[in-house]
A and B are shown apart, each in its own frame.
Chain A
Amino acid sequence: MDTFLGLDYPTWWFLVVGGLFIVYAVLDGFDFGAGAWHLFLDEKKERRIALNAIGPVWDGNEVWLVIGGGSLFAGFPVVYATLLSSMYIPFILFFVFIIFRAVSIEFRGKEKMFWWRKSWDISYSVSNIMLAFLLGVVLGNVLQGIPVGNNFLYQGKGFFEFLNLYPLLVGITTLFLFMIHGAFYLILKTEGRLYDRLTFLVKRGIVLFIVAFGITTLYTFIFIPHLLDTFKTYPILFSIPFAAFLSIANIPRLAGKKKYLSAFLFSSLTICLLLILVGIDLYPMLLLSTIGDQYSLSIYNAASSEKTLKIMLTMVAIGAPLVIAYTIFVYRTFRGKVKIDESSY
């Protein structure tokens, strides 16, 4: 097997796909988080400002989902196919809420009627809450392993098989993490009463997140101990969870000192570290079968040919800097506090 800088191509591609989903989680994570708070904000003025805080960027953030999905399909088609068809219901619901989020943003401001705005506010907020939650649910299933049997066929019974305790816990933890992440983003983009309200709300969010995170971590230690195997083999890797704990502990400290830019950077860092942790837990596996190890999918038995992986790496090497350049351009253009004008949502 060919290697590049000492790593084989499936491993490189594991890093690329992982990296893309981390960027997606950090970027769309604050959109979801901001939207989850929507109903807690004052109806008349604050909601419009909050909506316009993510207005120019949410669509660009969603791009990372498209790139991540395409990369998973191209690099690990077997995982793409097996994961999406096994987690059929949560993914279908995810796409339904992706649609509702987009159209709520687009339609909310187009009519002045009270019931119109109220309906879209609810649809927008519920969509964001569900999107964050469902991402966590899928992640929980991936960590726990799913009943995949012969011929990559999902053996789960029943409509709601995907929704057992652990995925539920991971879903709620993800939601709260995104909520504090989104609150920090909104705090950076707003001023006045809305700013004050958010600084108050985010403290509640931090408490909820830490509780949920604690329970999920304990559950993982007790019921899914195999996730710790890699760490036992390479104790040096314990530095990652340690860093994640420090990063989480730093968030309430920075929020208390009203250093919201740093707090936002640390909520981003927390998301990165937790997902890196997931990556270490899994590697070199991608989808664990709860039926038998022989059915599990790893980066080797699920990968595309080396030729495709090489082509795709070249593409990413050319494309990713371009995407990053556009992203920086857009964020620079819309830097600073939200200004409402006649082109706003």
Chain B
Amino acid sequence: MDVEILARIQFAFTIAFHYIYPPLSIGIGFMLVLFESLYLKTRNKQYESLTRFWIKIFALTFAIGVATGIVMEFEFGTNWATYSRFVGDVFGSPLAAEGLFAFALESAFLGVLLFGWKRVKPWVHLFSTIGVFLGSMFSAVWIVVANSWQQTPAGYHIVGKGMNMRAEITDFWAMVFNPSSVDNVLHVWLGALLSGTFIVLSVHAFYIFKNRHTVMSKKAFKIALVAATVFSLLQFFVGQRSAEGVAKYQPAKLAAFEGHFAADAPADMYIVGYVDNQNQKTTGIKIPGGLSFLINYDFHTPVKGLKSFPIKDRPSQVNAVFQFYHIMIIIGVFLIFLTLFSCFLWWRGKLFSKKWLLIIFIFATILPQISNQVGWFATEMGRQPWVVYGLLRTSDAFSGSVTANQVLFSLILFTVIYLLLFLLFIYMLNKKIMKGPIEEKNKEDNYLPGENTNILINE
């Protein structure tokens, strides 16, 4: 295999693995802020137990997220040197801003969040929790801004020729608020918040199912359910806005999303389907004119199809893009039905009486994860053959001096390590969930004196 393919596989693999963790950190961070605020407000020790329990799971996801994230920041340089030279002037500043304004906030307060429970006043601890949560949200902003610039470049001009050609910034805020960044940030935020709320729903559904920590779990479940309902509904509208943006700025990608080939005809919306890229045909269950309606609120407006682009400017894996996009949508719609239906049962006072619903929630935690992954695959593969839309092709972007053997070596290394990490993560997560929260008693005299090193050493 050549360097380009290997470098692409490596990037896809390392970013996909990394992307399991930051959304969980954002989402669980949000739930931590809720639980801890409720604890400080009500002084109910059950919220303290919940906060402490979820801090442990947060620590696990955060550790792996940071470790795998550092790889990402430098992989642009190791594997995509030509890309880095081309975009560095524009793309580097959001990455640096992420470090300065987001990651620093997150990591500094993480120490207090994890170990400061007895060292700082409760409100300082809550303040630290909020700091970590905000840090993770800001992180998402800057990283998604950098990615959005690749999708819809703005605020730059091109200078130089050949290997010295590069994009230079002309307007920083136009780069930050490029046409897709606001929609993408909201979309990513909501996806992350959903993944966090759904893992909380899953774990507490499991406890309720097993009759463990029931009182506390019902509280947690209801709070998470409200959040999940709001987020999944909001995601519907943000997703639609995002599609409108893609229609306007990346028409080839939109056409690939729905397998729409005809150059100038109303476009259908598929529920499920299959794209035959060779024969330029899409078959499946569809709403005729649905895509036209989604974009223009009219079933008959023509939409630019793939045939209006030269083959070399179209994504090559149209069926994959189509499938990824549709899996995301199906999951998004399912989550809306699931949460609304559960709210309905709650209103009728039957939320926890249906065992099968609890079982669905136990397993549903995987759905936002899948949705986040395939959503990114759809948007990144849909942008091909461009790495920066309309400016730089992926095939021109990799490191010229790196050999296929080197990339293969690092790819194998990362695959082995990440598999090991994933197994450990699942093992630890399972262990923590099985052990469960330590139920704090609702009285004031449960202070456990910390051992100190003197006792440990001289015992």
- Same complex origin of A and B: yes
Report A's interface with B, CB cutoff 8 A. Answer: 45-46, 49, 55-57, 59-60, 62-63, 65-67, 69-71, 73-78, 80-86, 88-89, 91-92, 95-96, 98-103, 105-107, 110, 151-155, 159, 190-194, 304-305, 307-308, 311-312, 315-316, 319-320, 322-323, 326-327, 329-330, 333-334, 337-344
Report B's interface with A, CB cutoff 8 A. Answer: 59-60, 63-64, 66-71, 73-74, 76-85, 87-93, 95-101, 103-105, 107-112, 114-120, 131, 159, 163, 166, 168-170, 172, 399-402, 405-406, 409-410, 413-414, 417, 421, 424, 428, 431, 448, 450-454, 456-458
Beta-carbon contact of A74 and B100 below 8 Å: no
Contacts of B451 in A (CB 8 A): 339-341
Beta-carbon contact of A67 and B115 below 8 Å: no
Beta-carbon contact of B70 and A103 below 8 Å: no
The count of A-to-B residue pairs whose CB atoms sit within 8 angstroms is 276
- A322 CA / B457 CA spacing, docked (Å): 38
Among candidates B100, B163, B424, residue contacting A320 with C-beta atoms closer than 8 Å: B100
> Smallest distance from the beta carbon of A167 to chain B beta carbons, Å?
18
> Smallest distance from the beta carbon of A31 to chain B beta carbons, Å?
13
Beta-carbon contact of A98 and B168 below 8 Å: no
Beta-carbon contact of B88 and A95 below 8 Å: no
- A319 CA / B97 CA spacing, docked (Å): 8
Among candidates A45, A86, A319, residue contacting B457 with C-beta atoms closer than 8 Å: A45
6 contacts between A and B (CB under 8 A): A66-B69, A67-B96, A70-B98, A88-B406, A320-B100, A333-B112
Contacts of B97 in A (CB 8 A): 70, 315, 319
Beta-carbon contact of A73 and B450 below 8 Å: no
Among A63, A98, A316, A340, which residue has the most Cβ atoms of chain B within 10 A? A63
- A252 CA / B163 CA spacing, docked (Å): 51
Beta-carbon contact of A91 and B74 below 8 Å: yes
- A312 CA / B95 CA spacing, docked (Å): 11
Contacts of A110 in B (CB 8 A): 428, 431
> Smallest distance from the beta carbon of A296 to chain B beta carbons, Å?
15
Contacts of A102 in B (CB 8 A): 63-64, 66-67
Contacts of B431 in A (CB 8 A): 110
Beta-carbon contact of A333 and B401 below 8 Å: no
Beta-carbon contact of B88 and A81 below 8 Å: yes
> Smallest distance from the beta carbon of A30 to chain B beta carbons, Å?
15
Among B85, B98, B170, B409, which residue has the most Cβ atoms of chain A within 10 A? B85
- A58 CA / B108 CA spacing, docked (Å): 9
Contacts of A190 in B (CB 8 A): 453
Beta-carbon contact of B76 and A73 below 8 Å: yes
Among candidates B59, B108, B417, B450, residue contacting A329 with C-beta atoms closer than 8 Å: B108
Beta-carbon contact of B79 and A85 below 8 Å: yes
The majority secondary structure among interface residues of chain A is helix
- A54 CA / B116 CA spacing, docked (Å): 14
- A69 CA / B159 CA spacing, docked (Å): 24
- A77 CA / B76 CA spacing, docked (Å): 10
Among candidates A92, A308, A334, residue contacting B93 with C-beta atoms closer than 8 Å: A308
Contacts of B399 in A (CB 8 A): 81, 85, 88
Among A57, A88, A308, which residue has the most Cβ atoms of chain B within 10 A? A88
Beta-carbon contact of A105 and B402 below 8 Å: no
Among candidates B115, B118, B166, residue contacting A55 with C-beta atoms closer than 8 Å: B115
- A62 CA / B69 CA spacing, docked (Å): 12
**With A59-B111, A85-B81, A333-B120 in contact, do A308 and B450 touch (Cβ < 8 Å)?**
no
Beta-carbon contact of A67 and B100 below 8 Å: yes
Among candidates B85, B101, B110, residue contacting A59 with C-beta atoms closer than 8 Å: B110
Instruction: Name the 8 nearest CB pairs between A and B, nearest first.
Output: A77-B88, A74-B92, A84-B77, A319-B100, A70-B96, A56-B111, A326-B108, A192-B457
**With A70-B98, A343-B115 in contact, do A45 and B456 touch (Cβ < 8 Å)?**
yes
Contacts A62-B70, A105-B63 known; 16 new A-B pairs at CB < 8 A: A55-B111, A67-B100, A69-B74, A70-B73, A71-B96, A78-B88, A190-B453, A192-B458, A304-B168, A311-B93, A322-B101, A322-B105, A333-B119, A340-B452, A341-B451, A343-B114
> Smallest distance from the beta carbon of B145 to chain A beta carbons, Å?
13
Contacts of A74 in B (CB 8 A): 88-89, 92-93, 95-96
- A95 CA / B458 CA spacing, docked (Å): 39
> Smallest distance from the beta carbon of A51 to chain B beta carbons, Å?
12
Among candidates B91, B168, B401, B456, residue contacting A307 with C-beta atoms closer than 8 Å: B168
- A194 CA / B456 CA spacing, docked (Å): 11
- The chain A residue with its CB closest to the CB of B64 is A103
Contacts of A78 in B (CB 8 A): 85, 88
**With A62-B70, A103-B63, A334-B111 in contact, do A339 and B88 touch (Cβ < 8 Å)?**
no
**With A77-B89, A107-B428 in contact, do A340 and B453 touch (Cβ < 8 Å)?**
yes
- A91 CA / B77 CA spacing, docked (Å): 10
- A274 CA / B74 CA spacing, docked (Å): 25
Beta-carbon contact of A89 and B73 below 8 Å: no
- The chain A residue with its CB closest to the CB of B425 is A103
Beta-carbon contact of A194 and B457 below 8 Å: yes
- The chain A residue with its CB closest to the CB of B407 is A88
Beta-carbon contact of A315 and B100 below 8 Å: yes
**With A56-B115, A63-B99, A98-B67 in contact, do A85 and B77 touch (Cβ < 8 Å)?**
yes
- The chain B residue with its CB closest to the CB of A324 is B104
- A153 CA / B403 CA spacing, docked (Å): 11
> Smallest distance from the beta carbon of A236 to chain B beta carbons, Å?
33
- A311 CA / B172 CA spacing, docked (Å): 8
- A102 CA / B108 CA spacing, docked (Å): 15
Contacts of B118 in A (CB 8 A): 341
- The chain B residue with its CB closest to the CB of A75 is B92
- A118 CA / B73 CA spacing, docked (Å): 31
- A342 CA / B83 CA spacing, docked (Å): 47
- A312 CA / B172 CA spacing, docked (Å): 10
- A76 CA / B428 CA spacing, docked (Å): 41
**With A70-B98, A89-B406 in contact, do A340 and B450 touch (Cβ < 8 Å)?**
yes
Among A66, A71, A105, A154, which residue has the most Cβ atoms of chain B within 10 A? A66
Contacts of A95 in B (CB 8 A): 70-71, 74
- The chain B residue with its CB closest to the CB of A87 is B78
> Smallest distance from the beta carbon of B446 to chain A beta carbons, Å?
12
> Smallest distance from the beta carbon of B138 to chain A beta carbons, Å?
11
- The chain A residue with its CB closest to the CB of B78 is A84
**With A81-B85, A96-B413 in contact, do A305 and B169 touch (Cβ < 8 Å)?**
yes
> Smallest distance from the beta carbon of A235 to chain B beta carbons, Å?
36
Among B69, B96, B116, which residue has the most Cβ atoms of chain A within 10 A? B96
- The chain A residue with its CB closest to the CB of B92 is A74
Contacts of A326 in B (CB 8 A): 104-105, 108-109, 131
Beta-carbon contact of A67 and B104 below 8 Å: yes
- The chain A residue with its CB closest to the CB of B406 is A88
Beta-carbon contact of A333 and B116 below 8 Å: yes
Among candidates B87, B89, B99, B448, residue contacting A67 with C-beta atoms closer than 8 Å: B99
